[in-house]
A = this chain, B = another copy of it.
Amino acid sequence: MNNMAKTENTEFKIVEAATAVFVHKGFDGARMQEIADKAEINKAMVHYYFRTKQKLFERVFENVFEVVAERISSSLETSKSIEELLENITGTYFNVLAEKPYIPDFVIHELNRNPELIVHIIKTRGINQAKLSELIITEIQSRRLKPFDPVQIIVNVLALTIFPFAASSIIKGFIFEGDAGKYDKFVNERRQHIIDFVKSAIFKDQKT
């Protein structure tokens, strides 16, 4: 093993650069030359380390997805009650997406472009949706929650949390007519709003 440090460094720089380009331009819009430029290396190096654009893309997608999945999963583990769970999921998504708001569009678009591949990539890192459903069902049976379908509730939380980031351009452009400040305020307030809104919807005893 000789110049391992150099190797790992170059590989890292390529993945970093490739991530930046792929997430913003998508697979089709990304250019190997741009990735090389951003990594400040020769284009041949990109192929030397990853052979094809496809293979490099797969590595990038796995990375991006893993970061999100890990943080969500660990927040699921530590939650005991529905309230805590709701707050943890929403909070975690907000933290991740405030940092990397391009993720929803990236994941959704590439997933639609090539469902088989991406589903296969993600399957290995499944989020334990089962535990979530169980908790909700138990709470419904104990009559604390209204009898909504647990799956619908889960999708609702995801939708309420992720959509504003995916559609930020639409919201910015239309509802706030380009005023970035108003949009930021909206996003900040939204974290708590989602929690209040969902609780208000699912609990039988309400807290105005």
Contacts and interface: CB of A to CB of B under 8 A. Distances in A.
Given A119-B169, A173-B122, A174-B129, A186 B151 contact: yes
Contacts of A17: none
A186 B167 CA distance: 23
B108 A167 contact: yes
Interface in A32-56: none
A86 B199 CA distance: 20
Given A26-B26, A28-B29, A113-B25, A170 B108 contact: yes
A112 B114 CA distance: 19
Interface of A: 25-29, 102, 105, 107-109, 111-113, 115, 118-119, 122-123, 126-127, 129, 146-149, 151-152, 154-156, 158-160, 162-164, 166-167, 169-175, 178, 186, 189-190, 193, 196-198, 200-202, 204, 206, 208
